[in-house]
Structure 1
Amino acid sequence: MSPHLPGPRLRPYTPADRNAVLALVDDDRMGGEPASTPAMLDEALQGRSSVDAGWWAELEPPEAVVAEDADGVVVGALSYAPRLKDDTGQLLWLHCREDTRTADALIRRTLAAFGAREVHAFGFASALSPGLEALPVRHRPTTAKALERAGFTGQRLGRYMLAALPVEGLPRLPDVRVGPEPGDRQAWRLEAHQGRRVVAEAVVGSPVQGTGVLRWLGVLPDLRGRGLGRAMLGNALGVLSGCGAHTVVLYVDDDASAGDERDRTAAISLYESVGFAEMDRLYSYSRPRAPGTGGMPAPEAP
């Protein structure tokens, strides 16, 4: 596209844009992600999400903007909101079929809305991408480059991994209790007990359109290396299969160096050994406050 052509026209989202925006979101889907629905879009537009709900509750009501081409066709959309507690702006989601001109225009609109304030992008999951807390940079390289051109710096958060269900041959722990995850009506918590002690736990997201999410799996530090993680994984995947899932995705933290207590090297090896494949790397982004502009004081610790 010639750089001399005018950019897209930006305007506020209206209900008439619903189908066009859903199509934009679906064009950005990766393997394992469920198709977006009107209910998902409505949740996102209202500033709600079952995943990362506490972070969404800290935001002011979000704004949604669409981009139109010269023929009036919607070619991009984004949503952003201020967070008053730290005086930052949050770019919540953006979809533009990886068109450079549209991505640049939408990001400029976000920065204009927040002036000199610090701005964060793709920091937590929206209702349009359940569980996906950051930008998959290999799948969406144009959006990543547009953020960098606008002065954002990326931080690697994790890996997006995918496996088919059922996974055969995994051991299972005998005394595992399954119940609702507190504060999340769409997830289940598994706890493995040895006597009164919880020795391993996992959290799984209820399947959506046949895809479940492994949100968390952990073993007590003094019991690691004994096969409890593999067995607990068997229990977690068994729950998802029993709920009708035929695919499972997971997001593995991958921002800690070897030897750090948050190092996930062993966990990634476990997941790969049972058939999970890496689909992408996940990054969040931040752009610092303009120098010399001050800002609200940091909140006091409770």
Structure 2
Amino acid sequence: MPASTSHPTHPARPTLRPCGPADLPEVLALVDADRLPGQPRATPELLAEASRGRTEADGHWWGAYDEPEVQVAVDSGGAIVGAVACARRTKDGTGLIPWLHCGEEPVVADALLARAAALLPAVPVDAFPFATALTQGLEGLPAGHRPATHAALERAGYTGERLWRYMRADLPRPRLPRAEGVRVGPARDRGASQRLEVVRDGRTVAEAVIGHPVQGIGVLWWIEVDAAARGRGTGRALLGSALHALGGLGATQAVLYVDDDEPPGGERDRTAANRLYESAGFAEIDRLWSYALPGA
């Protein structure tokens, strides 16, 4: 028999329509298909919060925007193959794409971004600028795991910027030391649950902030050590105390984000922080990007 001369078929461009209550199971499946290690399973409650533009981690940013409009992409068989959320900033109309899921199909990603452009015409648009309720504080698009979405944004004229390093570790980490003189109290922002302080001679010389675990996943929001206290193992001991505290809250794994977008030697050089986290057992999962599209 002669060899086949047929060519691989590509998905047809989907149709777009507003998301309805009956679409929930398929949208949740799309979100979960993009879930990274260290991120919670998508639930109806988390999706509802994300669809309303509310999140515990970055609520101060969400308050500046109207409630998002969610659109779904539907293929010729009626299956939902993508979803995107769009919103406007109340004070000036600047657009926002907080989340988009497309099964990493380029034609679906292009269709979703085209619909976003129709809903947000002739205005600057920010895409993936901060966390949604569907993630544990994950700000930005994990471009390594979602290259088709990244490429679609670039095709649509968006300029991307790598901002964060996303890392994860299993808990407990019993070999890490713990700091002496730690004072634990409630945190003040970002939906965090606890603030740990290392106190010496009545003065706070280091602090860490942790988030309450979701589905066994806790967030280490940050660690800061005074310059005068560095080089003495304070940061490593405080990291051990913070991870132990997360374990006490029920976490079986921890995630963190390092803003290492500047090269070594810059004002925000994170070389030492990256070395600390790696030596403590954290592994990089991906690099996180945010995007901007200028207005017409």
- Tell me the TM-score normalized by structure 1: 0.92
Map 1:145-224 onto structure 2 (within 5 A).
145-185=151-191, 187-224=193-230
- The partner residue of 2:73 within 59, 67, 78 is 67
Q: 5+ residue gaps in structure 2?
A: 1-7
Shift of 1:130: 2.1
Name the Cα RMSD after superposition: 1.5
Q: Distance in 2 between matches of 1:263 and 1:85?
A: 34
Q: Against the structure 1 CA distance between its residues 246 and 91, is the aligned structure 2 distance closer, same or farther, given a 3 Å change threshold? A: same
> Partner of 1:9 in structure 2?
15
Q: Distance in 1 between matches of 2:250 and 2:291?
A: 35
- Say whether 1:103 aligns with 2:109: yes
SS at match of 2:186: strand
> Partner of 1:297 in structure 2?
none
> Partner of 1:285 in structure 2?
291
> Partner of 2:45 in structure 1?
39
> Partner of 1:273 in structure 2?
279
SS at match of 1:181: coil
- Say whether 1:113 aligns with 2:119: yes
Shift of 1:257: 2.0
Q: Supply the AA of the counterpart residue of 1:105.
A: A
SS at match of 1:77: strand
Q: Distance in 1 between matches of 2:177 and 2:192?
A: 26
Shift of 1:185: 4.9
Aligned length: 289
- Say whether 1:259 aligns with 2:259: no
Map 1:219-238 onto structure 2 (within 5 A).
219-238=225-244
Q: Distance in 2 between matches of 1:137 and 1:211?
A: 22
Q: Supply the AA of the counterpart residue of 1:159.
A: R
Q: Against the structure 1 CA distance between its residues 262 and 101, is the aligned structure 2 distance closer, same or farther, given a 3 Å change threshold? A: same
Identity %: 55
Q: Distance in 2 between matches of 1:41 and 1:178?
A: 32
The one-character-per-residue Cα deviations of 1:143-178 (angstroms, maximum 9, x if unpaired) are: 000000000111011111111111122121122222
Structure 1 window deviating more from structure 2 (78-87 vs 126-135): it is 78-87
SS at match of 1:199: strand
> Partner of 2:5 in structure 1?
none
Structure 1 window deviating more from structure 2 (269-278 vs 182-191): it is 182-191
- The partner residue of 1:248 within 251, 254, 257 is 254
> Partner of 1:28 in structure 2?
34
The one-character-per-residue Cα deviations of 1:178-205 (angstroms, maximum 9, x if unpaired) are: 2222245552221221133211111111
The one-character-per-residue Cα deviations of 1:75-132 (angstroms, maximum 9, x if unpaired) are: 1111111113343111010011111111110011111211111111000000011210
SS at match of 2:55: coil
> Partner of 1:140 in structure 2?
146
> Partner of 2:97 in structure 1?
91
- The partner residue of 1:78 within 67, 76, 84 is 84
Shift of 1:27: 0.4
Structure 1 window deviating more from structure 2 (184-193 vs 118-127): it is 184-193
Q: Distance in 2 between matches of 1:11 and 1:274?
A: 47
Q: Against the structure 1 CA distance between its residues 90 and 185, is the aligned structure 2 distance closer, same or farther, given a 3 Å change threshold? A: closer
Shift of 1:30: 0.8
- Tell me the TM-score normalized by structure 2: 0.94
SS at match of 1:222: helix
Q: Distance in 2 between matches of 1:187 and 1:15?
A: 32
Q: Supply the AA of the counterpart residue of 1:280.
A: D
Q: Distance in 2 between matches of 1:195 and 1:184?
A: 29
Shift of 1:46: 1.2
